[in-house]
Structure formats: C-alpha cells, structure tokens
Amino acid sequence: MDRTLTAGLLQGGIHKRRAEEQLFTSYAYFIKEGIKKYSLQEEDAFDAYSDSVLSAIEKITNGSFESRSSLKTYLYQIFHNKCVDLLRKKTTNKYSVHKTLSIKESLFDISDAARSVIQRLVDKSDWAALRQKLDVLGDNCRKALLLWADGHSDQEIATFIDYKTAAVAKTSRIRCLEKLRQLYKAP
C-alpha cells in the first residue's frame, strides 16, 4: 500500500488528491489513540492527525521521505510529536509552523545577505490580509493559485480548471498573482 500511496502522491493531479484522501483514511484510527493515550479532545486529536498527514504529504512530495520506515510508522512519529506539542500547548497557530519551514526551504540556496533582506520583508507580511485578498480574487484565480502553491504543475492546473493548455494556465496564474499584488498593495 505504501508504494501505491507514494506513487499516487508523486503522480500529481487527481491521483495526488485521491492518494491524500487514502492516506488520511488509512490511519484515521490514530485519532482515537490521540484521545485515549494523550487525553486529547476529539477536535484536537483530529487537528493533530490531519496536520501530521499534511506534513507527511509534503515530505513525500518534496523527496524528504526516504522510505526507511513504513508510512504508518513515519506518520505515527509525526502524530506523536504533534500530540505531545499539543499537550505542552506549544502549537497555537495552525499556520505558523508550515509558514516558517516552507519559506526557509525556498530561501535555502540564496546568499546570506539576500536571504536576510527577503526574510525581513516576508516577516512584515500581513498574512490575514493576503488570505482575505485571495478569497476575493475570483473563483478561477483563487483555485489556480491554491493549486500552484500546493505544488501542481501548470499542465495539472489547466486540467483542473479547464484551461486549454499549460501555457494558458501559466499566463492566467501569473495574471492572478499580479492582481493579488494590486489588491494587497491597494490602500
């Protein structure tokens, strides 16, 4: 099953979406364990588990998961850590952990001086405003940008949104990003 799930996640498009759902349902019984073993509320155990699944998906798709352990063991390790974090009440913002990690990953290869300039500017971003502007951007634009940020190729975006070609998807996506910028910068 591990191989099928991993292949589905790497294949992208609708295969990725199905593999994500399959991964989630395969080990959803961890939630019960979170309730029993860590005395978490069901809602918190669900959050810990779904965050663990999202984290595992990211590691698999960016190649960091090296299949040294089974997917179940790997996922359980992440879940255990998240439950412990919850117990220690360290995790307070559902967006914060991923945000720091992903942007740091993108800046990994950049020179130190340039990185610190960008990091300083990124830290000043108004995340709530950005998310709110994304929501008012229009259905297709929002969908295209979410698919892009989730790692889908322009070809996959074209298929999902019914654009004629990958090139059209790319042009539209860039236009959407520009529109988002105008909305975000507008007083």
Partner 1 sequence: MENGIEHIEAYFGKEVSAEESRRFEQAILEDPAFAEEVAFYLSAKQAARDLAEVEKKERFLQLYRQEAPSRPVRTMARAGWVAIAAVVFGALLFSWYLYQKPAAPGKLANRYIEQHWQTLGVSMSSREDSIQTGLRLYNEGKWPEALKQFEIMIRSGNTGPAIKKYAGIVTLRLKDYDKALLYFKQLAAYPLYANPGLFYQALTLMERNQSGDSENAKQLLQQIVKNDLEEKETALEWLRKL
Binding footprint of partner 1 on the chain (CB under 8 A): 13-14, 18, 20-21, 24-25, 28, 31, 35, 41-43, 46-47, 50-51, 53-54, 94-95, 98-99, 102-103, 106-107, 109-111, 113-114, 117-118, 121-122, 125, 127, 130-131, 134-142, 145-150, 156, 159-160, 162, 164, 174-175, 177-181, 184
Q: CB-hemisphere CA count at 13 Å for 56?
A: 32
Q: What is the distance between the alpha carbons of residues 111 and 22, in angstroms, rounded to a whole number?
A: 40
Q: Cβ closer to partner 1: 68 or 126?
A: 126
Place of tokens 């498009």: 13
Q: Residue 3: exposed, middle, or buried by beta-carbon count in 10 A (0-12, 13-18, 19+)?
A: exposed
Residue 25 token pair: 């349902």
What does residue 46 show for φ and ψ, rounded to 5 degrees? -65, -45
Q: Cβ closer to partner 1: 68 or 111?
A: 111
Least distance CB 98 / partner 1 (angstroms): 7
Q: Cβ closer to partner 1: 84 or 129?
A: 129
Least distance CB 100 / partner 1 (angstroms): 9
Q: Cβ closer to partner 1: 47 or 68?
A: 47
Q: What is the distance between the alpha carbons of residues 77 and 52, in angstroms, rounded to a whole number?
A: 9
